[in-house]
Structure formats: structure tokens, C-alpha cells
Amino acid sequence: MAGVKQKLLDELKRLKALPGGKSLPASLQRLPVFQQIGKLSALVKVPGLHQALVTPDLIEYVTRLGGRAPSAVQDTQLLLSPPNQGASTLEGLNWHVDVSAPTQGPLPGIQAFFLIDDVGPGGGATLALAGSHRVGTPGQASASRLREVLKTSGDLARNLQQLNIGIVEMSGRAGDVFLMDLRLLHTPSVNSTKNVRMMATARCFFSNGT
């Protein structure tokens, strides 16, 4: 991971996107917080990223969790957040799923999130709603109830807990990997720290009905 991080730092330095350097391009600063992530991630190129992160060991873990080998693996994408985006908050986040799939159907795939550098609490890590892939199933909250809670201001963590759903912040140390059911609601978060959030993601898909 150290080699990947160094390549990434070199690219960020070239783009003047490191703390202490010149300010980020004005076109990036003018964007809303979450669009900044997509723009900065698209600007940075790290050759060999996919091969370095999507290893045979990772595919083995995905195969074990899914009960079968993935039929396709999407190219790895960087997830970079500029520093000092504002105060850390759970309000106004962009909760979404990348793949629309029935909650009671077969597992459509597993998404891997890689920490290229240490990411502390409030450092812009991806957030996931553990248990959100079960909404609408017997004994669980309805999808409409979950949407209502996500739009309501207040103590989001406590309100979600009443629905048997928890918030997982994918923070940790460089080299940590989070594996997530593709049906889980997740979102980027605000990077309130002085460090660039350095993560990457890859999606592994399973064939239907096997």
C-alpha cells in the first residue's frame, strides 16, 4: 500500500491538491462538497492501481462471502476527498445504492473499499448503513420508513438504531479493506480534517441464479 500511496501523493502534489500547497483549482472549489470528490478522483491517475489492490487474496475472500467466484470485477476507482470540506455531519448526505437489486433475491455482488492512507473519524470515509439491505423483508422496517428517517433532522444514529440499522464509518489504518453487500445504502462523508481522504473502491459482481 505504501507504493500506491506514494504514487498518489506525487499526483496530488502535481495537481497542487495537498495541504500546505497552493489552493485547489477554482473550478474544484466552486463545486458542492460531494461533487468535489468525483472531480478530484477523476483528475488523479495511478497506473497499476487495480492490480495492486484487487489481489487473488481479495478475490478469495469475496468468493467465500458470496459462496461463488465473481463473474466480473469492475476496474478500481479512486475515492479522494479534499481537506477541510467543513464540519463533520450526518445531515444532507448522499445515501444511495450502486446496484438496484431485490432485497430477498440472490446477492448481486460485493464492493471493496480500500484505505490507501490512514482515515480517521470525520476524515471523509465512506459511510454505510448496516442492515439497510434487509428493509422490506419480514420483521424489518419498510423502505419508505427508512427514507423518512434519512430525511428527518435529529439524532440520525439513534433513529436508525430503532430500525435495527447501524452506521458504519469506514475509517481505519492504511491497508484496511471493507467488504460490503452491493445492496447497502452508503454515502461519502464530509472530510473535516486537514488531510486528503485517500481511498479506492472496486465492485465484484455475481451471476444471477447460481
Q: What is the pLDDT of residue 1?
A: 94
Question: What does pLDDT average to over the chain?
Answer: 90
Q: Does residue 136 fall inside a structural domain? A: no
Whether residue 36 is contained in a domain is answered as yes
Predicted confidence (pLDDT) at residue 62 exceeds the cutoff of 60: yes
Query: What average pLDDT does range 123-131 have in this prediction?
Result: 97
Q: Are 185 and 97 in contact (CB under 8 A)?
A: yes
Range of the domain at 92: 2-130+169-205
Q: Does residue 151 form part of some domain?
A: no
Q: Give the model confidence (pLDDT) of 189-208 as tens digits.
A: 999 999 999 999 999 999 87
Q: Model confidence over 168-191: pLDDT tens digits?
A: 999 999 999 999 999 999 999 999
% residues pLDDT > 90 (the chain)? 70
Q: CA-CA distance, 13 to 19, in Å (whole number)?
A: 9
Provide the domain count of the chain.
1
Q: Write down the pLDDT at residue 26.
A: 66
Task: Dump pLDDT digits (tens) for 78-103.
Answer: 999 988 889 999 998 999 998 887 77
- Determine contact, residues 201/76, Cβ cutoff 8 Å: yes
**Which whole-number Å values give the CA distances from 165 to 105, 111, 134, 142, 145, in the listed order?**
20, 19, 9, 12, 12
pLDDT value, residue 18? 67
pLDDT confidence bin for 15, thresholds 50/70/90: confident
> 72 lies in a domain?
yes
**Does any domain span residue 34?**
yes
pLDDT above 80 (res 209): no
pLDDT of 23 > 60? The answer is: no
Q: Computed from CA positions of residues 91, 128, 167, 150, in that sequence, does the dihedral angle turn out positive or negative?
A: positive
Predicted local confidence at residue 21, as pLDDT: 45
Indicate whether 119 belongs to any domain: yes
Contact 191, 124 (CB under 8 A): yes
In a domain, 152, yes or no: no
Instruction: Tell me how long the chain is.
Output: 210
CATH number, domain at 49?
A: 2.60.120.620
Looking at the domain assignment, is residue 156 inside a domain? no
pLDDT higher than 70, residue 20: no
